[in-house]
Amino acid sequence: MQVDEATVRRIARLARIKITDAEAKSLEGELSGILDWVKQLDEVDTANVEPMTRVVPIELKQRADKVTDGEIADQVTANAPMTEDHFFVVPKVVE
């Protein structure tokens, strides 16, 4: 068992997902099962292997540092659950 309930709660907090006590319990088993299963990768010798960074060898594209888009605040905020004058509204974060 690699993941205990405290760890489940810690990662749920990191992931910003609220979980119930019952969920924490069942996730403990599910996550441990998956992590035990992926541990079979330890059988592979990767001592002198570079990690993959791209599947297709392409040059990273560059473009001129120019504004290509913008002035669309209406569109940017159109789908927000709460807005005011083109600002996103969230609960107070500074006392």
Partner 1 sequence: MTDLTKLTLAEARDGLAKKTFSATDLTRAHLDAIEAANSALNAFVLPTPDHALAQAAESDRRIAKGEARPLEGLPLGHKDLFCTKGIRTTACSRILDDFKPPYESTVGQNLWDAGAVMLGKLNNDEFAMGSSNETSAFGPVISPWRRNGKDGNPSTDKLVPGGSSGGSSAAVSAGLCLAATATDTGGSIRQPAALTGTVGIKPTYGRCSRWGIVAFASSLDQAGPIAKTVRDAAMMLKVMASHDAKDTTSVDAPVPDYEAALTKGVKGLRVGVPKEYRVPGMSKEIEDLWQKGIDWLKAQGATIHEISLPHTKYALPAYYIVAPAECSSNLARYDGVRYGLRVPGKDVTDTYENTRAAGFGKEVRRRILIGTYVLSAGYYDAYYLKAQKVRTLIKRDFDLAWDKVDVVLTPTTPSPAFAFGEKSGDPIAMYLEDIFTVTVNMAGLPGISVPGGLSSEGTPLGLQLIAKPFDEETLFRAGQAIETAAGRFDAGAAWWTGAAGARSQQAGAKAGKSGGKS
Kindly tell me which residue out of 65, 67, 75, 85 binds partner 1, with binding defined by CB under 8 A: 75
In contact, 25 and 32? CB cutoff 8 Å: no
Site membership for partner 1, residue 9 (CB under 8 A):
no
Residue 64 interacting with partner 1 (CB under 8 A): no
For 52, counting Cβ atoms within 10 Å of its Cβ (0-12 exposed, 13-18 middle, 19+ buried), the class is: exposed
CB of 25 to partner 1, least distance (A): 14
**Alpha helices of the chain — where are they, by DSSP H?**
5-14, 21-38, 73-77
Task: Give least dist CB 29 to partner 1, A.
Answer: 11
What is the pattern of x (binds partner 1, CB under 8 A) and - over residues 38-57? xxxxxxx-x--xxxxxxxx-
